[in-house]
Amino acid sequence: MRRVSWFNVTSLTFGLAFLYLPMVVLVVYSFNANKLVTVWAGFSTKWYGELFRNEAFLDAAWVTLRVAVVSSTLATVLGTAAAYVLVRGGRFFGRTLFSGMLYAPLVMPDVILGLSLLLLFIAIGLDRGMITIILAHTTFSMAYVAVVVTSRLVAFDHALEEAARDLGCNRWDAFRLVTLPIIAPAVVSGWLLSFTLSLDDLVIASFTSGPSSTTLPIKIFSAVRLGVSPEINALSAILIGIVTVGVITTSLMSKRAIAKRIRDENRAET
Amino acid sequence: MAENPRKPKPPTDVFTPWEDPAAKPLIEFRNVTKRFGEFVAIDDLTIDIYEREFFALLGPSGCGKTTMMRMLAGFESPSAGEILLGGKSMVGIPPNERPVNMMFQSYALFPHLSVWDNIAFGLRRDKKSKSAIAARVDEMLRLTRLEQFARRKPHQISGGQRQRVALARSLAKAPKLLLLDEPLGALDRKLREETQFELMDIQEKTGTTFVIVTHDQEEAMTVASRIAVMEHGKVMQVDTPAKVYEMPNSVYVADFIGDVNLIEGVFSRPAPETCQITYDESEPPIHLDATPGIAEGARVTYAIRPEKIRVSADRPDDLANAAFGKIIDIGYLGDISTYHVELANGQMVKAAMTNSTRVSRREFTWDDEVWLSWRETAGVVLDH
Ligand SMILES: Nc1ncnc2c1ncn2[C@@H]1O[C@H](COP(=O)(O)OP(=O)(O)OP(=O)(O)O)[C@@H](O)[C@H]1O
Ligand SMILES: [Mg+2]
């Protein structure tokens, strides 16, 4: 039996509390029957019902979802292509500059990125709306995809692609049939990362969204400024639920993949 | 070098296209140089390899064997010179358009595909019919004895099995030219010998030209129609295994292939038809048969294989050369024993004798004084 160290228990409790207490409070109050958020008046799910009748929130959620899907897909394609060129392209003119520029959105403050995109859209006369949010989100998530995919490509055995070429593939087929399936886990996590980044982005979206299109984070933020309503609590609780399920699923999936691999390797030895 | 009892008759008796001036080579390296930056990996190489040959590249690590293969397969292009395949220049032709398949030193199996799909990969690119692909893959699986592993992924099989998958995959397309980069390194001795014979069998059946890289001299001797001995990006000698072994053209080749005694001396011709090498004032000279092309008084190296030297207690009178010495060391190798004998002048000479009797009744032991003797024709003279 391991001795329980009070120090460990205390720090674990404080750590978890620090991370999750606010969320627990939020979820609990989302089931509050009272209109006053901070005064408990019994359990109720009526705010969830209210939420689903609120057109504005539903519209914003729908916009957010579409923006997230389209921009993360675009970012995945572009980011993977960029990573591939950086790792496989050998030396070409401007390689260092290109790689530096690709990673710039990672360190650039969101405000500056948002402002510069806004100026660009105004300069080229592009009306602000869903298109501009998608473009903006693609721009910065592509950098994250590139980072994730690059790290996988660096570990990828170049001889595999050569073997594919040797067996009759042109460059594109070799990429499609050998490289892509092998780096697929990194591409998928790049997509998921972009998706989450797009879902919870407030700053850049508020610069690039127009009156016709508002994303959920903007909607929540502006609603909260008028006062926290129980509806917002309900909405946030739903979002927390979605994210939790997503995180648990991915980690379970990768755990099972690792376990399967270990089993297979043991079997190969016998 | 231990002779393999199953070694079939060397093909050199019948198959010698390199001696036929009318024969057209399948592969021609014409003054090919490959540089990596400043480093010269292949240095002005000119070689012809003929159809149906089993051509072995032998040389120390880093001498450019893989680089040669990669240029043939199309992954590297020569910095200078030209490679022709079937008379056609290969400049600018990508790997997928060459009638060449390569088995990689690292196997390069596709980890996301099963053994079956790995082997079928090349066939699918040729847009063959499903049934034709299945038939061919099954044939390859049978050949490499991998039938029960067909559904496994590469990480689910052992190292030797992986090597066989790589071999099967490169054979599947029945290419005109097959490049094998150390194909049998990971196999144990027995399986390796079996696979060597399988390779030779395949080669005989399909008429494919093989270029094989190996670190194992015995393997090269067993399978090859010709051997190229390389050093630092240069080919030192290209010849049949027997010639490379019996008649090396340089000290490097003699030393690289098998075991050899190298004795330095001065060449002289006391009479028109008799030649000799004096290696020590106090020892009698080594008598040779007529050796044209070497100047009187030239410094040469005499190379003689240990198994060409006889060890005896008394001075034999039937052999032209004899030297007296003391046994310093005995290396027991099972089928043969190697005696390290020190001559009076301090020169060490190795002599190998087959162990026809059991060790306990061996004739000679440490510190015995013995006579070494050999024929005039037993060694070769290597000019400096
Ligand atoms: N892409 C490269 N860039 C720079 N140097 C290289 C490259 N490829 C090979 N070389 C060098 O060229 C030389 C020949 O390499 P190669 O791989 O042909 O050797 P090898 O004869 O196959 O050796 P081994 O028996 O160890 O496989 C080596 O010194 C190696 O370092
Ligand atoms: Mg090599």
Going across the sheet that includes B321-332, the strands are B310-312, B369-374, B321-332, B336-343, B348-354
To the nearest whole angstrom, how far is the Cα of A104 from the nearest Cα of chain B? 32
Residue with tokens 């051509």: B55
Pick from A168, A264, A269: CB nearest B125: A168
Q: Tell whether ligand 1 has an atom less than 6 A from the beta carbon of residue B214.
A: no
Q: Tell whether ligand 1 has an atom less than 6 A from the beta carbon of residue B38.
A: no
Q: How many CB pairs under 8 A join A and B?
A: 72
Q: Provide the β-strand partners of residue B326.
A: B342, B369
Q: Tell whether ligand 1 has an atom less than 6 A from the beta carbon of residue B222.
A: no
Phi–psi pair at B363, nearest 5 degrees: -70, -40
Convert the pLDDT of each residue in B348-378 to its tens digit: 999 998 887 665 556 788 888 999 999 988 9
Write down the pLDDT at residue B236: 93
Are β-strands B80-85 and B25-36 bridged in parallel, bridged antiparallel, or unpaired? Answer: antiparallel
- Through-space distance between the first and last CA atoms of chain A, rounded to whole angstroms: 36
* DSSP count for chain B of H helices, then E strands: 8, 20
Angle at B52 between CA B51 and CA B55, to 5 degrees: 90
- Please name the residues in contact with B279: beta carbons below 8 A apart, sequence gap of 6 or more: B263, B264, B265, B266, B285, B286, B302, B345, B347
Quick one: average pLDDT of A184-195? 89
Angle at B149 between CA B147 and CA B155, to 5 degrees: 150
> What SS3 class is residue B368?
coil
Give A-chain residues touching B156 at CB under 8 angstroms.
264-265, 267-268
Q: How far is the CA of B65 from the centre of ligand 2 (A)?
A: 6
- CA-nearest residue for atom 28, ligand 1, is B62
* pLDDT surpassing 60 at residue A185: yes
Chain centre distance of CA B306? 19
Q: Tell whether ligand 1 has an atom less than 6 A from the beta carbon of residue B96.
A: no
Q: How far is the CA of B182 from the centre of ligand 2 (A)?
A: 8
From first to last of the 384 residues of chain B, give the pLDDT tens digit.
444 445 454 444 568 888 888 888 999 999 999 999 999 999 999 999 999 999 999 999 999 999 999 999 999 999 999 999 999 999 999 999 999 999 998 899 999 999 999 999 999 999 889 999 999 999 999 988 899 999 999 999 988 889 889 999 999 998 989 999 988 877 788 878 888 888 888 888 878 899 999 888 888 888 899 999 999 999 999 999 999 999 999 999 999 998 999 999 999 988 877 889 998 888 888 988 877 788 888 899 999 999 999 998 888 888 889 999 999 999 888 888 899 999 988 889 999 988 876 655 567 888 889 999 999 889 999 887
Give the residue, A61 or B4, on which the prediction is more confident: A61
How does the average pLDDT of chain B come out, rounded? 88
Distance CA B65, CA B289 (A): 37
Q: Domain locations in chain A?
A: 47-269
Closest ligand by atom to B57 CA = 1
Asked if the C-beta of B125 comes within 8 angstroms of chain A's C-beta atoms, the answer is yes
Q: How far is the CA of B175 from the centre of ligand 2 (A)?
A: 21
Domain A47-269 has CATH 1.10.3720.10: yes
**Sign of torsion, CA B242 B72 A165 A178?**
positive
Residue of A nearest to B178 (CA): A166
- Rounded to whole angstroms, what are the CA distances from B265 to B46, B116, B283, B309, B341? 33, 61, 11, 18, 18
Distance CA B106, CA A159 (A): 8
Confidence bin at A105 (pLDDT 50/70/90): confident
* pLDDT surpassing 60 at residue A87: yes
Determine how many CB atoms are found less than 10 A away from the CB of residue A131. 16
Domains of chain B: 17-253 (3.40.50.300), 259-383 (2.40.50.100)
> Which of left, alpha, beta for B334 (phi over 0: left; psi -120 to 50: alpha)?
left
Query: Angle formed by the axes of helices B159-172 and B189-206, to 10°?
Result: 10
Give B-chain residues touching A182 at CB under 8 angstroms.
110-112
pLDDT over 70, % of chain A: 96
Distance CA B341, CA B327 (A): 4
Pick from A159, A166, A268: CB nearest B106: A159
Q: Look up residue B90 and give its DSSP letter.
A: -
To the nearest whole angstrom, how far is the Cα of A269 from the nearest Cα of chain B? 6
> What is the C-alpha radius of gyration for chain B, rounded to an integer number of angstroms?
25
How does the average pLDDT of chain A come out, rounded? 87
Asked if the C-beta of B94 comes within 8 angstroms of chain A's C-beta atoms, the answer is yes
Q: How far is the CA of B116 from the centre of ligand 2 (A)?
A: 27
Residues with Cβ–ion distance below 5 A, ligand 2: B 66
Give A-chain residues touching B157 at CB under 8 angstroms.
268
